[in-house]
Each structure stands twice: as structure tokens, then as C-alpha cells.
Amino acid sequence: MSDLDAKSSARYAAMAASALKDASTFLGIRRPAYPVLVVAPVGATATEYFSQAARPGVWPNSYVTIWPTNSLLPYILIDPSIEANIVDVQGNHVDADEYVRHTLTHEMIHVLTSSRSDIHPNPSEEWLREGGADYFAYLSRRSSAKIHPDFRTGFAGKVRRIPTNDDFARNSDMQVDPYDAASSVMTYIDSKYGAGSAKKLYLERASSPASPLDSALTNVLGTNYANLEKGWLKWIQQA
């Protein structure tokens, strides 16, 4: 922790511990033996802090997991200012504590599947990595229903593809948040191919990130990327 009063530090620490337990239990991956540091940037704007501390192209005003060079510990960076007025994709207010718990669980999933953890690497496709982390954070915490509404709502006519890696770097013409779109893809996978299929695909891809994506899709879902995308686009039109 840094630059936080004792009460705020305790709040984040408790939520981080709970999030790590939830993520570990859901994925079936043992919790790491090291503590996960939650750093709250105070005294600098989020954009400045994140551009200095995180990878290029990261979305500001958010949370992000990084693993600094030569560090044995991952860092989850938090911008507390985002807690002031949080709304979901449908414009509904979201409780700040619920949002923090959900987002920390999302980040803990990244920690548990990071290539630096010597457990599982992350999938190389951002839609699978980020969509999986967000969708699994919801599934591992059933109380966070408001964090994960039906992501088909409002998508019709606004998306033409599964988000690419460039879409996540804001080099995009997408009319919706790529994180929401990616989570929608994972929701569709479980809806179409059966509960648990999205997690199986995520871990399959994470275990063989250098192999063709279609190999994992064929092994787990019996389909390929083109047909997955076609099916998802049709599914969101049905909202």
C-alpha cells in the first residue's frame, strides 16, 4: 500500500485477500505464496501515474496489473477516483465497494494466470484474456450481478467483430467498450457450448499460447474463430 490512511489500506487489503481467494477457488489454481500488493496512486493524475508505471496504451482511470522488471511481486495499481460515480453498461449506478471487489477479482485472475507466476501464462489474445478475467470475476462472485448485466443489450448494430488487441489499445473504431464486448463473447461461449466452456477455453489457451488459436477453439468448442465470431454477432442481435 502507498499514500493511504490506515482505514483505506485495511479496506483494500481485505478486498484483495477476498478477491484472491475467490479467483483461486474459481480457476482451481493454488494461491501464490507471496502477497499481492495493491498500490493506490495519490498525488498524481491517473494518466501520469499509469503511463509511468504500467504498460503503454493502458486505459487510465482504471485498475491494472503489472509485474515490474526484477520484481518478485505483482502490483495491482488502483485509481481511487473511479469509485466516485460508477455505472454499468446500461447506465445504472453500481455500489463502489461491489465494483472494487469485482475489479480486484478480475485483476487477481490476471495474477494467477500470469506468465511470471510459473503457474499459467495469460492467453495472448486480449479478448480472451480480458473478457475471461471480467466474466470469471462475475462467476466467482455471484453477488456481483449488477456488474455483469446481459451484455447483448445495446450492442446490436454497434459491433462488427470480436475486439482485436488494437481495440484494447484504444486504436479502434469500436462504439462499445472492448472489455464489455469481450466479456459478452465469454458469456456467449458458455451459453452456446455449455457452462464451464469459457473457463476451459481460457486455460487451454493459456497453457499453449504459442499454438494457433483455432487449435484451442477446435479442441474445446469444436469450432474455429470465424464461426465463433459469426455466432456471437448473431447472438447479440437477438437481445
**Do 27 and 201 touch, CB atoms closer than 8 A?**
no
Distance CA(201)–CA(87), nearest Å, equals: 29
| Mean pLDDT on 211-232 | 95
pLDDT at 89: 59
> Which distant-in-sequence residues (6+ apart) come within 8 Å of 105 by Cβ?
19, 22, 23, 136, 137, 140, 141
Distance CA(176)–CA(184), nearest Å, equals: 11
pLDDT at 55: 46
Fold topology of 6-236: Neutral Protease; domain 2 (1.10.390)
1 pLDDT band (50/70/90 cuts)? very low
Whole-Å CA distances, 207 to 113, 136, 139: 9, 17, 21
Whole-Å CA distances, 134 to 53, 72, 127, 158: 22, 25, 10, 20
Distance CA(84)–CA(88), nearest Å, equals: 13
150 pLDDT band (50/70/90 cuts)? low
Does position 206 have pLDDT exceeding 90, yes or no?
no
| Mean pLDDT on 96-112 | 83
Least confident of 126-135, 140-149, 173-182: 140-149
**Where along the chain do its domains lie?**
6-236
| Mean pLDDT on 162-188 | 84
pLDDT at 108: 85
Does position 6 have pLDDT exceeding 80, yes or no?
no
Neighbouring CB atoms inside 10 A of 173's CB total 7
214 pLDDT band (50/70/90 cuts)? very high
| Mean pLDDT on 47-73 | 54
Does position 67 have pLDDT exceeding 70, yes or no?
no
C-alpha cell at 142: 455471484
**H or E segment and range at residue 18:** helix 6-27
Does position 239 have pLDDT exceeding 50, yes or no?
yes
| Mean pLDDT on 25-41 | 67
pLDDT at 68: 59
Of the spans 121-125, 166-170, 190-194, which averages the highest pLDDT?
190-194
pLDDT at 18: 87
